[in-house]
DNA sequence: CGTAAAGTTGAATTCTTTCAAACACGGTGG
DNA sequence: CCACCGTGTTTGAAAGAATTCAACTTTACG
């Protein structure tokens, strides 16, 4: 494994954490808690590592800007991308809070990351925050479970269709004015490692989908050409994810 | 889908929740909390459903005895098993606490399940419990992520090898005197749906593994014949799971 | 302008599925 | 006690999907 840290972290000014993504309540509490402090931020260029599998300098983070992939490297050197992290999402949490990282966090695009210090301590003074974290964890679980179901039984076509719709839906939660063309910093090999395919097969399948007028990827953008066809392919897989709507966190009572 | 509830629930007496599995601290708090109450328990025979995808009678549970599979049915009628639940594990939690269940919980063997009422309320009076739940959720996540990595890139051989070792390790946490032969209530079709294969291919692969003296399944028992070979095949995948050791929860400070 | 990274294409191979059929086993009812 | 039936297991042959290997083209970027 020849992964190297491409770039070191930079510090930024006070952090007005955005209240969107998986953890608006969490970021709200944090920004209140730290409004008088300088909350540490990290700016990383694209294709650099926030942390590597095995690293000990453990922290928790909220992604403020950019895209991040969480992945695990297996013994034979192959990479499995576990999930994508979009602005507002939480990352870095693991059972052994101070143990070595069990995954690698790589930026896909220029990113700004907010460091969450002493998560456990904050949870003790803010009991409601801990339960929010449980909620966030459950949402991440649903996403991962849905990828599992998708990869497990789906053809390359279906896997890619699912990925496209899943990312589209998650971005839609962050920007209701989103068109059918979304930013897409993954290269074909990233898609392959996310979906359990080879980049060659991803390439062929993408070509076919584009030729059929369903979906196209070019210049770091993904464009949904035929939403209905995509939804017919994998829509039902997405249903469990709808229970992770941000509105549900902000107003959990309103079923 | 013609799934029917095979058997209705029965009630049992006071629940001395066992302090093992993923949530010993959780069950400890619960049993203290309810030591004077009659905590509701459900007894279910093998191959019956604790809840079905879509059910509204939502609760949280701790599995006390038996084996349970969590699965999701996709539109085309195929079943994806999300994960197995062993005694002491938590189940039933989801983002929409009172929404319809997003998965189905089926018993594989005769099971006893402890009902956890009003989880959110308990968390408010026991702040430390909420953070324990976060911990439990993170452990479940690692298990699911590891299955994802296994299914995504592994051959049928590797997938089965991984499943065997994973179950073996989790049972070992519950019974240190476990031999190399473990109870195994899954039929070949369950294995198939857990690993994203067809039962026919599972059959062929199991035959081959048995013929090679690596692993055998018969009479509802799985026997590890050559641990070293299995570990060489998939051992490195298991490493992240070691951070979920129960000891870590009971003494989280002791790194 | 030159190099490295990413994308593209073809042909052969491997793994897995599909379809079809047979077998083994345990339980039920006659 | 035996015939029957359903569930789960086993096996074969053909078809299909994805990978591998190898080479080539295009794009991005200093």
> Whole-number mean pLDDT of chain A?
83
Q: Which DSSP category does A241 fall into?
A: G
- High-pLDDT (> 90) share of chain B, %: 50
Using left for φ > 0, alpha for ψ between -120 and 50, and beta otherwise, residue B66 falls in: left
Residue A204 has pLDDT above 70, yes or no: yes
| pLDDT bracket for residue B13 (50, 70, 90) | very low
Residue B192 has pLDDT above 90, yes or no: yes
* pLDDT attached to residue A52: 93
Q: Which DSSP category does B97 fall into?
A: T
| pLDDT bracket for residue A148 (50, 70, 90) | very high
B5 CB inside 7 Å of strand C: no
User: Which has more pLDDT, A221 or B178?
Assistant: A221
Q: Which two tokens stand for residue A83?
A: 């999930």
Exposure class string for A208-238: b at 16+ Cβ within 10 A, else e: ebeeeebbbbeeeebebeeeeebeebbeebb
Whether B80 and A148 lie within 8 Å, measured CB to CB: yes
* pLDDT attached to residue A26: 66
Residue A251 has pLDDT above 60, yes or no: no
* pLDDT attached to residue B14: 42
Backbone φ and ψ of B223, nearest 5°: -120, 125
Whether B95 and A142 lie within 8 Å, measured CB to CB: yes
Rounded to an integer, what distance in angstroms lies between the CA atom of residue A245 and that of residue B87? Answer: 32
Mean of the pLDDT values across residues A149-178?
Answer: 92
Asked if B247 reaches chain A (Cβ–Cβ under 8 Å), the answer is: no
**Chosen from B26, B78, B95 to mutate, greatest number of chain A CBs within 10 A:** B95
* pLDDT attached to residue B173: 84
A190: burial class by Cβ within 10 Å (0-12, 13-18, 19+)? buried
| pLDDT bracket for residue B250 (50, 70, 90) | low
Residue B254 has pLDDT above 60, yes or no: no
User: Which has more pLDDT, B61 or A29?
Assistant: B61
Mean of the pLDDT values across residues A216-239?
Answer: 92
- Strand C positions closer than 7 A to protein CB: 5-10, 15-20
| pLDDT bracket for residue B38 (50, 70, 90) | low
Rounded to an integer, what distance in angstroms lies between the CA atom of residue B95 and that of residue A23? Answer: 13
* pLDDT attached to residue B34: 56
Q: Which two tokens stand for residue A211?
A: 């030729």
| pLDDT bracket for residue A200 (50, 70, 90) | very high
A181: burial class by Cβ within 10 Å (0-12, 13-18, 19+)? middle
Mean of the pLDDT values across residues A235-239?
Answer: 88
Span CA (B141) to C1' (C19), Å: 38
pLDDT in tens, B133-162: 888 899 999 999 999 999 999 999 999 999
A201 CB inside 7 Å of strand D: yes
User: Which has more pLDDT, B214 or B126?
Assistant: B214
| pLDDT bracket for residue A205 (50, 70, 90) | very high
- Chain B residues whose beta carbon lies within 8 Å of the beta carbon of residue A243: 94-96, 99, 102
Nearest CA in chain B to A99: B255
- Which of the 138-177 residues on chain A come under 7 Å of nucleic strand D at their beta carbon? 155-157
Rounded to an integer, what distance in angstroms lies between the CA atom of residue A78 and that of residue A171? Answer: 28
Give A143 to chain B, closest Cα distance, Å: 10
Asked if B149 reaches chain A (Cβ–Cβ under 8 Å), the answer is: yes
Rounded to an integer, what distance in angstroms lies between the CA atom of residue B28 and that of residue A52? Answer: 35
Q: Which of A43-52, A104-113, A240-249 has the lowest mean pLDDT?
A: A240-249
B126 CB inside 7 Å of strand C: no
Handedness of CA A134, A150, A74, B83 (dihedral sign): positive
Mean of the pLDDT values across residues A220-232?
Answer: 94
pLDDT in tens, A62-90: 898 999 999 999 888 899 999 999 988 88
* pLDDT attached to residue B66: 93
> Whole-number mean pLDDT of chain B?
83
Q: Which two tokens stand for residue B142?
A: 């690692």
Whether A74 and B237 lie within 8 Å, measured CB to CB: yes
User: Which has more pLDDT, B252 or B220?
Assistant: B220
Span CA (B127) to C1' (D20), Å: 54
pLDDT in tens, A159-173: 999 999 999 999 988
What is the length of chain A?
255
Mean of the pLDDT values across residues B72-92?
Answer: 91
Span CA (A54) to C1' (C12), Å: 40
Mean of the pLDDT values across residues B218-247?
Answer: 88
| pLDDT bracket for residue B116 (50, 70, 90) | confident
Span CA (B4) to C1' (C12), Å: 48
- Hey, what's the torsion of the CAs at A154, A155, A157, A160, to 10 degrees? 50
């Amino acid at each position: 494994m020849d992964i190297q840290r491409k770039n070191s972290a930079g510090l930024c000014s006070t952090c007005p954490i955005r209240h969107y993504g998986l953890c608006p309540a969490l970021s709200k509490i944090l920004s209140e808690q730290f409004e008088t402090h300088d909350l540490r931020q990290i700016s990383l260029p694209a294709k650099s590592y926030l942390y590597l599998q095995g690293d000990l300098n453990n922290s928790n983070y909220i992604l403020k800007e950019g895209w991040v992939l969480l992945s695990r490297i297996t013994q034979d050197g192959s990479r499995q991308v576990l999930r994508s992290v979009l602005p507002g999402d939480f990352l870095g949490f693991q059972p052994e809070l101070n143990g070595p990282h069990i995954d690698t966090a790589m930026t896909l695009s220029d990113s700004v990351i907010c460091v969450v210090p002493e998560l456990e301590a904050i949870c003790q003074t803010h009991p409601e925050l801990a339960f929010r974290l449980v909620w966030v964890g459950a949402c991440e679980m649903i996403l991962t479970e849905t990828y599992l179901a998708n990869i497990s039984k789906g053809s390359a076509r279906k896997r890619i269709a699912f990925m496209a719709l899943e990312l589209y839906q998650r971005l839609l939660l962050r920007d209701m004015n989103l068109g059918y063309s979304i930013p897409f910093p993954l290269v074909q090999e990233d898609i392959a490692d996310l979906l359990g395919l080879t980049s060659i097969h991803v390439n062929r399948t993408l070509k076919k989908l584009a030729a059929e007028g369903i979906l196209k990827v070019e210049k770091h953008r993904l464009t949904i050409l035929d939403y209905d066809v995509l939804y017919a392919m994998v829509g039902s897989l997405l249903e469990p994810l709808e229970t992770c709507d941000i509105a549900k966190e902000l107003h959990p009572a309103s079923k």
